[in-house]
Amino acid sequence: MATRPSRPVFFLHGFASSSRSTKAAYFRQKLAPLGVTFQCPDLNEPDFSTLTMTRMLEQLEDELGKAPGVPAALIGSSLGGTLAILASARFAERIGRLVLLAPAVMFAKPGDHMLPPERIEEWRRAGSFPFFHYAYGEERPLGFAFYADSLNYDAFTTPIVQPTLVFQGMRDTSVDYRTVEQFAKARANVTLSLLDDDHQLTASLPRIWNDVAPFLELV
Residue 200 has pLDDT above 60, yes or no: yes
**What percent of the chain clears pLDDT 70, i.e. is strictly above it?**
96
Residue-wise pLDDT for 156-193, tens only, equals 999 999 999 999 999 999 999 999 999 999 999 999 99
The per-residue DSSP string of 85-132 comes to HHHHHHTGGGEEEEEEES--TTTTSTT-SSS-HHHHHHHHHHSEEEEE
Residue-wise pLDDT for 61-86, tens only, equals 999 999 877 899 999 999 999 999 99
Residue 24 has pLDDT above 50, yes or no: yes
Distance CA 67, CA 185 (A): 31
pLDDT for position 101: 98
14: nearest Cα among 78, 73, 60, 74 = 78
| 145-160 average pLDDT score | 95
Q: Give the chain's mean pLDDT.
A: 93
| 117-127 average pLDDT score | 93
pLDDT for position 2: 38
**193 strand-pairing partners:** 167
| 5-17 average pLDDT score | 91
Distance CA 36, CA 97 (A): 14
Q: DSSP class of residue 34?
A: G
Please provide residue 10's backbone torsions phi and psi, each rounded to the nearest 5 degrees.
-115, 125
